[in-house]
Amino acid sequence: MALSAASPPAAAGDAPFTSPSNFGLTGLLDTPTARVMPGNSLRAGGTRIDPYRYYFIGVSPFSRLEVVGRLTEVAGVPAFSNLSASSYGNFKDKAVDVKFQFLREGKYSPAVAAVFMDPHGTRIYPAQALVASKQIFPFDFTVGLGNGRYGKRPLPESGEGFRAEMFSNPRAWWRDARLFGGIEFAPAETLSIVAEYSPVRYDLQDRDPAQAKYFQDPVPSKFNVGLRWKPLRWAEIDVSYQRGNRIGVGISTTFDVGKPFVPIYDAPWREKPADRGRSLEDRIAAGLSASGFSDIGVASDRITLRVEAQNDRYFFTPRAIEEVLSILARTGTGHAEYLRVVVKENGIPLVELVTTGPAVDDLAAGTISLPGILDISAFRTDVRETLVPETVHRRWFAYGVKPSLDTFLNDPARFFSYRAGVAGWLHAFGWRGARIVTGVEAYPVNNVSTLNAPLSIPVRSDIALYKKEGASLSRLFAEQVAKGGRSIHGRLAAGYLETMYAGVDAEAAVPLWGGRVFLGAGGSYVRKRAPESPFRLTEAGFHTAFLNTRLNIVEWDVQADVKAGRFLAGDVGASLTLSKFINGFVLSAWYTVTDTSVFSDPFNRGYHDKGISLAIPLRMFIGRDSKTVYTYRLSAWTRDAGQDIDHERTLFDFIGRNSPLHLDRDRNALYVQ
């Protein structure tokens, strides 16, 4: 099955043969090819080929790299036959597959890729393969060599480690590997025909729960055929005949993560004729207020015009500054020689643009463009004071409501539990850097339950007790953020910090080398909240202490975060998070290693917390700019090792992309999307 959205070619020679295989990696049916999805694209879909059900989400964070999260369900094989109260259903296995195309296709040479399927954990469906694909349009030919599921014998589990026999024991990989291959024929843009040879010996896969019930004998055929149809640019449906006795059906969709679903357009501000007789300061403030700014200060000494404002609308700071310049081009600068524009957050200056008044006049006259004026201007991020004391259009409150779908996965009670409702928030702003944060949630639809007992140090393993509540006060705390010399930032928060914990949280951070590196330290002292009462605290107290580092590889829009220290349960270690930024989308994966000897239960001992998250900017769907971002996190298991409190935001988030390196990157990106 496959349903895939048409996108620009991932690399020369890959398109149009970039559809997903049964399990999500780009491929034929039961085997992969050397083709990859286009860079910065995301694919979701599913395949039914009895007795298997495959559900997958894949992403190509870089050209020539694919990462696919896969769930394999085996129909008719219960997961917990010994638990009468369980509604978990069929056996399900989670896995991550990776493909890297290390050689692009040339005029006479094929594309070549390495494939690593299920290299971690139980490894029920693992394989490692080298694959080559060569296009002679409209045909695409593939041949590969793989072990594990494609090889002569199943592979053992790897526990909390990662195994790649292709590298660790290449001779064993070669001895176990078998050939596979196939052809895809694309007679039309919307249609293709697939034929493959799959070496999988289902009857020998004794670690596959499906083997005992469905595959005691070899399958009738190792040849599979299929038809792929794209009824829409972004959709594909596959129908196949596999293993000589089964019909398969698949559907998937692929889209460019960095491209808005609805083109973003913010109507330019038009000054009312009646307002043109007001003072220059009032006219500028009115234009900024109408264009998504607040807490606006405008002052001029006839030499320098200063404009200070909080950006409430624009996702990228350079875009916000562009809007300020566009407004000044309409109102004029009062013949000022210099212009200083400060973008701030709750009174704290983040970025200053320094340019000349004549440059703005040239912008108004059309002799210079917005990119041109930014090229001859300077960004500063070391500004620490605002210089316009009187401001207008001050926002004292910010609030919002959004639909909320919260999931709870992989509990023996049922595999997929959820609660659906609304989440609301109210922020009250006081003096500079101060705010009170309130969050409430209501879930009229809620089936969260658990059969698991809390573990030895239950800092997260009892979260189902909190999620099963129909309504909750998720946050109620006061926060103070400050910015000092050398761009040193500090933050202190106290109150009900998150759904499970209340207490005090503090940190300090500083960007270095133009924002190439962020350094910080922080910690918290918290007590556990009672699940059934919004304000009552239990006797259980915990504390954390961390050294934090972020490396920003802005050339690739990648950041690597390392958090090292004491986690909530008292386990000491470090967590690594890798994130890829794609025009506002942020794809992240984390892996944590701690000393789990503090736990007495077998589930936490030796366990390494890991998971993925996706930050989705609202602006990609509504046709106008917005700073609102929705974040979804998914962890492999709900355990207690490597846990921290859920921070509403951190100082690294507060600094964000307001560093010299990021500002230059985002300024240039505005004109190449």
pLDDT, tens digit, for every residue of 548-602?
A: 999 999 999 999 999 999 999 999 999 999 999 999 999 999 999 999 999 999 9
Can you tell me the distance from the alpha carbon of 588 to that of 34, in angstroms, rounded to the nearest whole number? Answer: 25
User: Which one of 1.20.1300, 2.60.40, 1.10.3470, 2.40.160 gives the CATH number of domain 397-663?
Assistant: 2.40.160
Contact between residue 313 and residue 301 where contact means Cβ atoms under 8 Å apart: no
Mean pLDDT of 214-228: 96
pLDDT, tens digit, for every residue of 363-414?
A: 999 999 999 999 999 999 999 999 999 999 999 999 999 999 888 777 777 7
* pLDDT at residue 10 is higher than 80: no
Q: Structure tokens of 258?
A: 């960095």
Can you tell me the distance from the alpha carbon of 550 to that of 363, in angstroms, rounded to the nearest whole number? Answer: 38
Higher-scoring residue by pLDDT: 669, 598: 598
Can you tell me the distance from the alpha carbon of 380 to that of 352, in angstroms, rounded to the nearest whole number? Answer: 5
pLDDT, tens digit, for every residue of 536-559?
A: 999 989 999 999 999 999 999 999
Count of beta carbons in the 10 Å neighbourhood of residue 589: 17
What is the C-alpha end-to-end distance of the chain, expressed in Å? 32
pLDDT, tens digit, for every residue of 97-120?
A: 999 999 999 999 999 999 999 998
- Among 222, 143, 150, 186, which residue's Cα sits nearest to residue 19? 186
Question: Mutual orientation of helices 660-669 and 317-331 as an angle, nearest 10°?
Answer: 70
pLDDT, tens digit, for every residue of 33-59?
A: 999 999 999 999 999 999 999 999 999
Quote the percentage of the chain above a pLDDT of 70.
Answer: 97
Pairing of strands 414-429, 537-553: unpaired
Pairing of strands 178-188, 159-162: unpaired
- Among 135, 132, 134, which residue's Cα sits nearest to residue 112? 132
Q: Residue 536: what pLDDT?
A: 95
Domain pair 41-79+91-256 / 397-663, same fold: yes
Q: Residue 80: what pLDDT?
A: 80
Can you tell me the distance from the alpha carbon of 126 to that of 449, in angstroms, rounded to the nearest whole number? Answer: 32
Torsion angle of the four alpha carbons 454, 458, 460, 465, in this order, in degrees rounded to the nearest 10: 50
pLDDT, tens digit, for every residue of 155-171?
A: 988 877 788 899 989 99
Quote the percentage of the chain above a pLDDT of 90.
Answer: 83
Mean pLDDT of 134-152: 95
* pLDDT at residue 151 is higher than 50: yes
Q: Spelled out in words, what is the top-level CATH class assigned to the domain 273-393?
A: alpha beta
Residue 32: DSSP 8-state? B
- Among 579, 435, 449, 573, which residue's Cα sits nearest to residue 518? 579
Q: Residue 86: what pLDDT?
A: 67
* pLDDT at residue 199 is higher than 50: yes
Can you tell me the distance from the alpha carbon of 506 to that of 515, in angstroms, rounded to the nearest whole number? Answer: 22
Q: Residue 85: what pLDDT?
A: 60
* pLDDT at residue 88 is higher than 90: no
Q: Spelled out in words, what is the top-level CATH class assigned to the domain 41-79+91-256?
A: mainly beta
Can you tell me the distance from the alpha carbon of 357 to that of 302, in angstroms, rounded to the nearest whole number? Answer: 11
Q: Residue 6: what pLDDT?
A: 39
pLDDT, tens digit, for every residue of 612-648?
A: 999 999 999 999 999 999 998 888 678 999 999 999 9
Q: Where are the domains of the chain?
A: 41-79+91-256, 273-393, 397-663
